[in-house]
Amino acid sequence: MRRSDGLIHVLALAPLVWIVFDQLTGQRSINPIQTWTQRSGFSALALLLASLACTPANRIAGVRRAAAWRRPLGLYGFGYALIHVLIFVVIDYAADGSAIMAELAEKRYLIVGALAFAILIPLALTSTAAWQRRLGRQWRRMHRMVYLAVPLAVVHQIWQAKSDIRLAVLFALVTGLVLLMRLPPTTGARRR
């Protein structure tokens, strides 16, 4: 493992450390459930985008090592998404199934968010080298679903924003960019 690999872990864990630090230093939020929900959601999306940026970084910018960051960044992103969903389900709604279903049925931002998370679950579970070998060519096809999950998560972020969608639009632009940079014209049409 190189030093740059360690940096990836430090960066990815920083949001978690920040929350713990705030708790320990008494800088608790006045509405902590909302704050944790927002921070975990933000971190999930930022890390998933970072994961998607690894391939263009490798192929276009020539950062060869980035190929090795894709998986850990994606898994960290999923980890924050899991925390995000658990806070919503277990803490915010006290695992009240009927209340959660009522919200889900009524709010489009929740529907797309739940869809994005549902797609990520099998991808995270099959992220190991063993599963990669086992699924062979299917693995690659299956993991392209992340190109759907991340845009759905971005739509989720846009729809949950209160009027000011500037940050969410920035995320959407970055998503569009890292997805576009996978198209053959930008990668020299190298087929693998």
Partner 1 sequence: MNRIPASEITPEWLYRQRRQFLRSTGALGLAAAALVACGAPAQPAMPAPTQPAVPAPRAAGTADERGDPLTDFDSVTNYNNFYEFSMDKEAVARASAGFVATPWQVTVDGLVRNPQTYAIEDLLGRFDQEERIYRLRCVEGWSMVIPWQGFPLHRLLAEAEPTAEAGYVRFTTLHDPERMPGQRDPWFTWPYVEGLRLDEARHDLTILATGLYGQTLLPQNGAPLRLVVPWKYGFKSIKSIVRIELTAAQPTSLWMASAPHEYGFYANVNPDVAHPRWSQATERRIGELSRRETLPFNGYAADVASLYAGMDLRANY
| Contacts to partner 1 from residues 166-185, by CB under 8 A | 166
Q: Which stretch binds partner 1 (CB under 8 A): 57-65, 76-84, 86-94, 113-121?
A: 86-94
- CB neighbours (10 Å) of residue 10? 9
21/131 with CB nearer partner 1? 21
Total residues in contact with partner 1, by rule CB under 8 A? 26
Q: Does 92 bind partner 1 (CB under 8 A)?
A: yes
For the segment 7-46, give every residue that binds partner 1 (CB under 8 A).
Answer: 21, 25, 27, 29-31, 33-35
Residue 105's alpha-carbon distances to 41, 66, 100, 119, in angstroms, are: 21, 40, 9, 19
Q: Which is nearer to partner 1, 102 or 180 (CB)?
A: 102
Q: Which is nearer to partner 1, 2 or 166 (CB)?
A: 166
Q: Which is nearer to partner 1, 93 or 147 (CB)?
A: 93
Q: Which residues bind partner 1 (CB under 8 A)?
A: 21, 25, 27, 29-31, 33-35, 91-94, 99, 102-103, 106-109, 159-160, 162-164, 166
